[in-house]
């Protein structure tokens, strides 16, 4: 494992994965007592003239984070990331500039602009669906849209092939 690429899994107060941070930030959080170190990378150390620190593999926030703060904010960009730049109707992955966002329940029928009612759609699917529901248009969604707890950017980081063994317990389920 290359030191520069070493990352630390950040858990919330309830041991749920929250994010992935670089080891420098993890060390800073640990040194300033904002997190407890749950797992270490044995043998991976950084040294200062007076001390050496074993790099944290998993850290846990000491302070309880309110749900509202850790929720991923709604934005068009974050919807596209959540859906992995994939049309949620046909599964195509056109260039980013050709993706649209679609109101599952159309706005004209009271659908709001929120995590649960917005999906990524390619332009052809969006216009084909028009102001119908997925059922009416016979265009089933590939996944039910929900507010993500973690952005896909983080999830991708959690799924790298070399996920450290120290993380495994905390990523289960």
**What are the residues binding Zn ion (CB under 5 A)?**
87, 89-90, 92, 122, 125
List helix spans (H) across the chain: 23-31, 67-70, 76-82, 123-129, 134-137, 152-158, 168-171
Paired tokens of 45? 């150390």
- Quick one: which H or E segment has residue 18? strand 17-22
Q: Give the residue with the Cβ less far from Zn ion, 124 or 164.
A: 124
d(CA 102, CA 55): 44
Residue 145: name the closest of 104, 94, 85, 111 by CA.
Answer: 104
Q: How far is the CB of 101 from Zn ion (least distance, A)?
A: 12
Q: Give the residue with the Cβ less far from Zn ion, 65 or 139.
A: 139
Q: How far is the CB of 133 from Zn ion (least distance, A)?
A: 16
Q: How far is the CB of 119 from Zn ion (least distance, A)?
A: 10
Q: Give the residue with the Cβ less far from Zn ion, 97 or 161.
A: 97
Q: How far is the CB of 116 from Zn ion (least distance, A)?
A: 20
Q: Give the residue with the Cβ less far from Zn ion, 65 or 141.
A: 141
């Amino acid at each position: 494992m290359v030191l520069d690429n070493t990352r630390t899994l950040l858990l919330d107060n309830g041991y749920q994965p929250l994010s992935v941070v670089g080891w420098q930030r993890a060390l800073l959080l640990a040194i300033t007592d904002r997190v407890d170190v749950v797992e270490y990378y044995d043998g991976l150390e950084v040294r200062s003239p007076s001390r050496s620190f074993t790099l944290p593999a998993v850290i846990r926030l000491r302070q309880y984070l309110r749900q509202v703060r850790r929720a991923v904010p709604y934005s068009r960009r974050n919807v596209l990331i959540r859906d992995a730049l994939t049309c949620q109707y046909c599964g195509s992955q056109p260039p980013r500039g050709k993706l649209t966002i679609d109101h599952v329940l159309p706005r004209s029928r009271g659908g709001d602009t929120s995590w649960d009612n917005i999906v990524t759609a390619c332009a052809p699917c969006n216009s084909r669906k028009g102001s119908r529901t997925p059922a009416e248009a016979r265009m089933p969604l590939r996944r039910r849209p929900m507010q993500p707890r973690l952005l896909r950017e983080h999830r991708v980081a959690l799924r790298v092939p070399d996920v450290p063994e120290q993380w495994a317990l905390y990523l289960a389920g």
